[in-house]
Amino acid sequence: MSEAQALSAETRAYIQSLGVEALGDEVLWLEALTHGSTGAARDYERLEFLGDRVLGLVIAEWLYESGSDAEGKLSQRLNALVSRKMCAQIARTIGLPPHIQLGAQARADGGTDSDNILGDVMEALLGASFITRGFGPTRELVRSLWADAVSGAAGTAKHPKSALQEWAAGNRRKTPEYRLISREGPDHAARFTVEVAIKGVGEMQATGSSKSEAERLAAKAFMEKFG
């Protein structure tokens, strides 16, 4: 393995601290940590694609065996637990950001705190684990990292947009209307500002790392003020 393809001793020790005793092909782990802004020949996108599917299967199995919730409730919890926001939260909790390989501009733009990047890299690491170690060990890794999230309330509360929709209908109000106000920043650290309005009631704005997150936050803020 060339020096350029090798993990640093610090990053190797970090991955092993997560419970990955034998890394196998370190090139794959380095790839999982590498953002396209570095100009490297291989970045995390393909591994992220794979890791996303592995995570979904592990969480779906976990939820299925954990109780007797109906399909709708299972889907609600699954969507919350595998969301980019949750993956980014897990990444922060386990101290992943310093180990991500970013180009100078992406780092200056706050890439190490971007939900998009952190979430994608978290999934890419699961993809690398699946290829190098197989499904069983990767399943155990997910169950270790997601234990608090699964045992907590993630996905049990109604989504703010659904809650607002039901509130409007229950109060004989017009359907909530969402409008994109602005999109700022580079693709890897974009910030979206959205306004939600209900005619005759009011409007609220919120900003997030994706349009859907901004809509969710705007709906939550609207309910807090007017609901």
**Rounded CA gap, 171 and 154, in Å?**
28
The DSSP letter of residue 42 is S
- Computed on alpha carbons and rounded to an integer, the radius of gyration of the chain in Å comes to 20
- List residues with catalytic annotation: 52, 123
What does residue 116 show for φ and ψ, rounded to 5 degrees? Answer: -60, -50
pLDDT in tens for each of the 227 residues of the chain? Answer: 444 467 899 999 999 988 898 888 899 999 999 999 989 899 999 999 999 999 999 999 999 998 888 888 899 889 999 999 999 999 999 999 999 999 999 888 888 889 999 999 999 999 999 999 999 999 999 999 998 888 876 655 566 887 888 788 888 888 899 999 999 988 777 788 999 999 999 999 999 877 877 888 999 899 889 87
pTM higher than 0.85, yes or no? Answer: no
Fold of 160-226: Double Stranded RNA Binding Domain (3.30.160)
Q: Domain residue spans in the chain?
A: 3-151, 160-226
43 closest CA partner among 117, 153, 148: 117
At the top level of CATH, the class of 3-151 is mainly alpha
**Rounded CA gap, 188 and 36, in Å?**
10
